[in-house]
Structure 1
Amino acid sequence: MNRKPVHVAMFSGGAASAYVTYQMVQTHGKENSILFFTNTLWEDDDNYRFMYEVADYIGIEITERVDGRTPEEVFEDTRFLGNSRLAKCSSELKVRQTVIFIEDLRDQGLEPILYFGIGAHEKQRAENLKDFYGHQSLESVETRFPMFEGNIKDVDAKRVIIEEWGIKLPRMYDLGFSHANCGGRCVRGGFKHYADLYRIWPHKFQEQEEMEERMRETLGDVSILKSKDTGKAYTLREYRMYLEIINKGIDEVASASLIPEEDDMVPCVCVYS
């Protein structure tokens, strides 16, 4: 079937996907473009501010899809606590909604082409997403990565947004987070992310710790963080106790054995969808 191409920017609420959206619209026109956002209902309020300012600047409305559940409700429904290696919140709240949207567009005689804010240094992630969406729906979906393909760096995209568009970036960047997903509560974040969360927003760290404890009461010895070496659970309560020791001034090197090593470089699909 011959379908009319429609260009879909996968808007995460971050700088890279905002920049990609602008370039996509400039190239293909507003009438052939969609700014697509899947809402987890955990996003930081300032993310929404940024998203609507970007949409207003570009002159295109946000097309939002929402499952209706929060990540915690997905964990309860699936009886599986999302963790640093596997998170069903992504597959349920973002990927599933995206696949449904793709098929809805096709039912309307449109063929979506997905655009992602993958950085110039992230070849492997681009390849993974290309393969991922090549097998996620009834037919393969074309994916494009303008920043990677054009060798555009994140810092350059942020500079354009701030200096040329006059839009302030989401506050989570300024606060020191590596990404702005789920208001800091991303279960794929790893140890460094949760150290930042404890330092910047201890109340949200506490929310995650309390959620984890509720899930442990039901599911047993599960946790958000995992040891790289053993794969065993390492609870947020344990990690908070470790961070409290560090903050009290005990030598960091001497106390490093309190925490298992983990690979923090495990990206969640949320970062790009």
Structure 2
Amino acid sequence: MAERKTVHVAMFSTGAASAFVAYNMVQTYGKENSILFFTDTLWEDEDNYRFMQEVSDYIGVDITWRVDGRTPEEVFHDVRFLGNSRMAKCSEELKVRQTLIFLEGLRDDHNLEPILYFGIGPHEKHRADNLRAFYEHNPIEPIETRFPMIDTFRADVDVKKIIQEEWGIELPRMYKLGFAHANCGGRCVRGGLGHYAQLYSIWPERYKEQEEMEERFRQAFNKDVSILKQRNGKSFTLREYREMMEREGINKFLKQPDYDDTVPCVCTTF
């Protein structure tokens, strides 16, 4: 078999850093050698889709879009495990698995060798290390990963300013709304107390959707489980948290610790 041709794949999370990395990848290697890759959980905020399409138009590369077809809730029921800050099977099934299937298709069906590009910055080098190790130990065949925000660009590059002022593209609205990350339209199960307080303050209806989703799982499997946890490790349902915020005032909860950043997650939107 002929040697595989290299193809450069931007792992587009619909965030600013991954958009900037994608643009520079295409400028370096050409549109014909580049792929803009997105995996959809079906829970994304609608404005992320708007941003994604405008970035695609600006870069001049169509989005390669992969969808498992299930929502995170459907994954939780299929695997009989409610996602939380320590384990997010939704990410494994809806993003990682779809990515690996796509990459092996590039190799097997098109004789292409993918190199992956992530928009992870120097402040999250541990996430880059985790991703690099994960793809290096891919059981079928290792996959090269690159992290230009760490290895190539200046540490102080203001990608948000560049996108807004030079590209003329408005950033996803979740940045302005104060979310630390834009996973799943604010419904990310890896979010912590501060994240869910923010979600309740901005979009109480989405918080209620998560609250109802959590209760459906608890009822379906008769398990005392929850997305959030108390400091003693016991379950702490979203209903209990909402009632506490309503009693004591939401402001005291907005600065609570966010999701556990020591846990590698490939779906974070930057």
Deviations 1:28-50 (A, max 9, x none): 00000000000111111110000
Alpha carbons of 1:154 and 1:195: their partners in 2 closer, same or farther (altered >3 Å)? farther
SS at match of 1:60: coil
Matched, 1:38 2:39: yes
Q: Which moved more, 1:262-271 or 1:61-70?
A: 262-271
User: Residue in 2 aligned with 1:159?
Assistant: 161
Q: Which amino acid aligns with 2:104?
A: E
RMSD across aligned C-alpha pairs, in angstroms? 2.2
Task: Answer whether contact 1:120 1:151 (CA < 8 A) is retained.
Answer: no
Q: Which runs of 5+ in 2 are unaligned?
A: none
The offset of 1:135, in angstroms, is 1.9
In structure 2, distance between residues paired with 1:110 and 1:73:
33
Matched, 1:214 2:211: no
User: Residue in 2 aligned with 1:196?
Assistant: 198
The offset of 1:8, in angstroms, is 0.1
In structure 2, distance between residues paired with 1:248 and 1:96:
37
In structure 2, distance between residues paired with 1:36 and 1:248:
38
Matched, 1:106 2:107: yes
Matched, 1:55 2:56: yes
Q: Which moved more, 1:135-144 or 1:19-28?
A: 135-144
In structure 1, distance between residues paired with 2:202 and 2:258:
21
User: Residue in 1 aligned with 2:129?
Assistant: 127
In structure 2, distance between residues paired with 1:82 and 1:76:
10
SS at match of 2:81: coil
In structure 2, distance between residues paired with 1:158 and 1:116:
16
Q: Which amino acid aligns with 1:127?
A: D
The offset of 1:151, in angstroms, is 4.8
Deviations 1:88-139 (A, max 9, x none): 1000000000000110000111000000000122211111110011123400
User: Residue in 2 aligned with 1:144?
Assistant: 146
Q: Which amino acid aligns with 1:270?
A: C
The offset of 1:268, in angstroms, is 2.7
In structure 1, distance between residues paired with 2:193 and 2:18:
25
SS at match of 1:83: coil
Q: Which moved more, 1:202-211 or 1:155-164?
A: 155-164
SS at match of 1:269: coil
User: Residue in 2 aligned with 1:12?
Assistant: 13
The offset of 1:152, in angstroms, is 4.1
Matched, 1:69 2:66: no
Q: Which amino acid aligns with 1:225?
A: L
In structure 2, distance between residues paired with 1:168 and 1:53:
9
In structure 1, distance between residues paired with 2:154 and 2:145:
17
Q: Which amino acid aligns with 2:184?
A: C
The offset of 1:264, in angstroms, is 3.5
User: Residue in 2 aligned with 1:29?
Assistant: 30
The offset of 1:155, in angstroms, is 6.7
Task: Answer whether contact 2:9 2:117 (CA < 8 A) is retained.
Answer: yes
Alpha carbons of 1:85 and 1:32: their partners in 2 closer, same or farther (altered >3 Å)? same
The offset of 1:262, in angstroms, is 7.9
The offset of 1:153, in angstroms, is 4.9
| Aligned with residue 224 of structure 1, among 222, 227, 230 | 227
Alpha carbons of 1:68 and 1:248: their partners in 2 closer, same or farther (altered >3 Å)? closer
TM-score by length of 1: 0.91
TM-score by length of 2: 0.92
User: Residue in 2 aligned with 1:177?
Assistant: 179
In structure 2, distance between residues paired with 1:101 and 1:272:
20
